[in-house]
Structures are given as structure tokens and as C-alpha cells.
Structure 1
Amino acid sequence: MNSRLSTNHAVAVAEHLAELRRTAPLVQCITNSVVTNFTANVLLAVGASAAMADVPTEAAMFAPIAAGLLVNLGTPHAEQRVAMLEAARAASLAGTPWVLDPVAIGLLPVRTALAGELLSLRPTIIRGNPSEILALAGTGAGGRGVDSTDSVEAARPAARDLALRFGSIVAVSGPVDLVTDGATDVRVHNGTELLTRVTGGGCALGAVIAAFAALGEDRLSTTVAACAVYTIAADQAAAVSHGPGSFAVAFLDALASVSAEDVRNLAMIE
């Protein structure tokens, strides 16, 4: 790993974290019913704020007010599908950065078609596991439900293609997270397998990415910062946990206490 590059990224991450806690961005979350509570708590713990505004008409009204928007396709019921499209359109018109998390697309037809509609609205950032990114790019059939059956490196060409075609930053989650704008790839080596054993471990990251996206126009940098802070806190939580249950509690505590010094000392970014 290039230590100078890692150091430069770590400094930027620490600055973004300080700015997030100073400004407490409000994130509108249109997310799946399984993870709403955890997602809201994660945003509060890291220093942001959450609004689960997912009712049609209201969703469109709220998007210009919010600092960032998450659209997560985990449980896309009919009313929520309408709200997702309304909010994404309103966010795009208002300049509100928004994140598309195409959960479990590929095999399942309703969410796959919806993901295509949302993708045409040019999300600011796309976050998914490797199988979801491959399916969204049209080069894969999806994974096993919410679980990926592909590697991050296998999804790298698809991630870069999506970034270039739609002007999005693409974050591919895995043992090593990949963040790309289509030309520059950044890898975040922090993280723990325990994140995959807690409901919402991936989905809540999308909300944190939306919160960091509110901090400036360099969305490659803010997305790397979100992934780094999230996974550094996960590493800290794993060190004091005995399993998934204690990890979930420790993770919220770690998100609240992770410091700029922790970021500078612990970030493994290349």
C-alpha cells in the first residue's frame, strides 16, 4: 500500500468527519422496513440526523429540504416505489445528493425494473455489493438475495462503467470496499465480517454515504470518508464484542466516539 496516498486520504476523512459533526446533515431515508430503526440510530450516532419520509407526495416535498437522500430497494412496496421515484426526481432538480442502494436486484423483477428507472435519474452515488453492481450494470444476474456471490474485484469493471455512463460515484462493499468515479479507484481495507451478520449493516452505510455527500462536491472523497469512518468504527466495535448482538450495540457506540485521531491512525486506504 502506498503510505503517502493512505495518509492523504486519512487526513481528508478526518476533516470530513469533523465537518459532518459540525453541520449534522439531515438525511431523508426511503429504506426497507427491516432496517429503519438501525439506520436512524447509525445516522444519529455518527453525528447526522434522519428523516424516514417515504410517503408519496411528502417524499417529493422533503427531498429539497434534506441535505442528502437514500433510496434503498430492500422492501419496495407499491407506495414506497412511487415515493422513491418522486424523491429521486425532486432531489435531482434541487441538487440534493442522493444514493441508490439496489438491494437484491437481478433475479427479482419488481426491484430490478425499479432500479433501472432510478438509475436513469443519475444517482449521485450508487452503493451495493458486487452482485448488485454487476446486475445494475447489466453484466450479472444478481446474488443470493441480499448476499453477494461475486467478488469486489470481479465487479470493478461494472462499477467503473456505471460511474462513467451515469456520472455517479460507485461504492462496492466487500472485505475491501472499492470506491470509483470511473477513472480513479480507491480501496478501503478496514472492516469486519461482523457487519454482514447484523441486519442493516450494509443498508445503513448507504445512509452514512448520503450524509457525507452533503459536505461538498468532491463526492469521491466524501464517499471514501463515509466508508472509512463506518468500517473503522466497525473494527473498533469488533475488538470489544463477543458476537453479532454485542457488536451491534458496540458499533453504535464506536460511531459516536470515533475520532479524527482514530481515523488518522487506523485508516487503511489506497
Structure 2
Amino acid sequence: MELSEYLDRVRKLNPLVHHITNYVTVNDCANACLAVGASPVMADAIDEAGDMASISSALVLNIGTLNVSKVESMIEAGRSANAGGIPVIFDPVGQGATDFRNRMAAEIMSHVSMSVVRGNMSEILSLGGEHIHTKGVDTGGAVEIREAEAIASRLAEKWKAVVVISGASDIVTDGKHHVLIHNGCPQMSLITGSGCMCSTLIGAFCGAHPEDPFGSAAAAMAVMGLAGERAWDKWGREGLGHFHMGILDELGRMTGESLAKGARYEEN
């Protein structure tokens, strides 16, 4: 897997990535999208959500700040994207925290075919029907990496989608192929938006490589993890604010060559 080619193609094609996402991290997502060479658009009104999805290269659905109207727009946009063969990325933020959130996530999944589903361990396991404690929008349980890989693989086959579980090592699987991404640093969990930015980058990479959501997701997670590592090395002593902005700096300056040199992953 040549991860460098994925990033180079994003920068070459400048895919339009439509987001219906949460208002806590919308600016982070827009800037991360621009930093890797894609173009963001955020349109959550049901009057235009479907039309915007139809002219985009990828659609990212994020349920971080959830309400019924937004879910209706997500389904409208998702159906439009599905009809046009446009990749859809689903980020079930906080899945497992409340009955409402669980029902809305299930409703979206029942109406929209996903190319990639990305979340932390508790979110993905809860979405898949596993019982695990969730604290707000954060992970609240421990599952061994190999057990998580097996569960993710089963869910990928069930959903006919690539499943990404973010963690100390990120799991990426389509049910047949598996990649563990070892880039990243623990401090990324201390800032708001790191997970949402991962989903945005997956959208950007899938937009440039719609035929390959598995490789796109793996490359995007490696890019985000490597950017986090480098930002912490450079700015960590200055504080979390500098670190946060440093991630965008590193995303913007990353090249296919530097990704190839810095990516740490194993395929199986």
C-alpha cells in the first residue's frame, strides 16, 4: 500500500467534501480539509442538502450535535450521494450515550449506505450492538486490540463498509483486509476535534479515490496521526492551543514523500 499516492492525488484533484457535521468542530474540519488539498462545504438545510451532496466528491455525516432536523438532512443528503455513487462517511459521535442518539444513528444507517464508518472503540461497538459503557462522547471501556479487530471485521461485512476504530493504534478493515495504523500521540485526545478531523480527512481521501475507501481510510488515518505526532514534538511544550493549531500546520506542509517516510503501519 503506497500511502503517499493517496495524499498526492487529493492535492491534485481538490475534491469537494460536503459535511453535515457538529458545530463544535466545524471550523477544525473545514481547515483540516483545506490543509490536505480538498475543499469543504457545510450545508445542513434540508432544502439544499441533497443537491449539495449530488455535486460533491464525498459526504461526511457527523452526529456530534444532534437534532431531528439535522438527521432528516443527513438522510436526504445520504440518499442523494448513494444515488450518485458518491462515498459517504459516517461518524457516530457519542453513540451509546443516550437512547435518542442511538435511535437516530440507527435511523441514518437504515436509510444510507456508508462507504466508511469511523469512531472510537465504544462508539463502533455500540453501533454494532455490543454492550459497552460510554462516557459522553468519549470511550468508556477497554477491549483488546485483536478482539476489536475481529468485531470490526464482522461489522464491516455486516454494513458492507470500511470500519475504522480510532485508538492508540487505529484499526482499518473492510472485512477481508486489515491495517493497523501506529501513528499518533496520546495528547490528541486532549483537544476537541481530532476525531472529527479524522472523518473529514477520510472524506477528502475517499473523494479523490471513490473506488478505494479502504486504502483512503488507512491513508487518512496515517496522515492525521503523523500530523499529531509532529505537532506535539514541535509545540507540545507551549500548550494545547499551540498543539491544536500545530496539527493544521503539519497537515498543510505534509507531502506524499514525508508521509511515506513517517507512516507506521502493518497490513494483515
TM-score (norm 1): 0.93
Residues 47/112 of structure 1: CA separation in 2 closer, same or farther (3 Å cut): same
* Structure 1 runs, 4 residues or longer, greater than 4 Å off: none
How do residues 44-83 of structure 1 correspond to structure 2 at under 5 angstroms?
Answer: 44-83=34-73
Q: Distance in 1 between matches of 2:151 and 2:123?
A: 10
Q: Distance in 1 between matches of 2:133 and 2:21?
A: 20
Match of residue 216, structure 2, among 203, 212, 222: 222
Name the counterpart of 1:137.
128
Q: Is the 8 A contact 2:118 2:165 kept in 1?
A: yes
1:189 corresponds to 2:179: no
Letter matched to residue 260 of structure 2: R
Name the counterpart of 2:82.
92
Q: Distance in 1 between matches of 2:84 and 2:133?
A: 32
Worse overlay, 91-100 or 144-153: 144-153
How do residues 2-151 of structure 1 correspond to structure 2 at under 5 angstroms?
Answer: 9=1, 12-120=2-110, 121-151=112-142
Aligned to 1:63, the other structure's residue is in SS state helix
Worse overlay, 75-84 or 96-105: 75-84
Aligned to 2:135, the other structure's residue is in SS state coil
Residues 63-98 of structure 1, C-alpha deviations (whole Å, 9 max, x = no match): 111111110010112221111111111111111101
Specify every segment of 5 or more residues in structure 2 that has no aligned partner in the other structure, as ranges. Answer: none
Name the counterpart of 1:164.
157
1:142 CA displacement: 4.7
Letter matched to residue 223 of structure 1: A
Aligned to 2:18, the other structure's residue is in SS state strand
Q: Distance in 1 between matches of 2:57 and 2:70?
A: 20
Match of residue 245, structure 2, among 246, 249, 262: 249
Q: Distance in 2 between matches of 1:46 and 1:261?
A: 14
Percent identical across equivalent pairs? Answer: 38
Q: Distance in 2 between matches of 1:142 and 1:46?
A: 34
1:151 CA displacement: 4.0
Aligned to 2:265, the other structure's residue is in SS state coil
1:203 corresponds to 2:193: no
Name the counterpart of 1:3.
none
1:179 corresponds to 2:169: no
1:268 CA displacement: 0.4
Total equivalences in the alignment = 260
Q: Distance in 2 between matches of 1:74 and 1:58?
A: 21
Q: Distance in 2 between matches of 1:150 and 1:182?
A: 23
Match of residue 240, structure 1, among 231, 234, 238: 234
Name the counterpart of 2:259.
263
Q: Is the 8 A contact 2:132 2:141 kept in 1?
A: no
Cα RMSD of the aligned pairs, angstroms, is 1.3
Q: Distance in 1 between matches of 2:97 and 2:230?
A: 35
Aligned to 1:57, the other structure's residue is in SS state helix
Residues 82-129 of structure 1, C-alpha deviations (whole Å, 9 max, x = no match): 111111111111111010101111131122111112222221100000
Q: Distance in 1 between matches of 2:141 and 2:79?
A: 31
Q: Is the 8 A contact 2:28 2:197 kept in 1?
A: yes
1:261 CA displacement: 2.1
Name the counterpart of 1:6.
none
Residues 193-234 of structure 1, C-alpha deviations (whole Å, 9 max, x = no match): 222111111011101101101222121111101111111111
1:57 CA displacement: 2.4
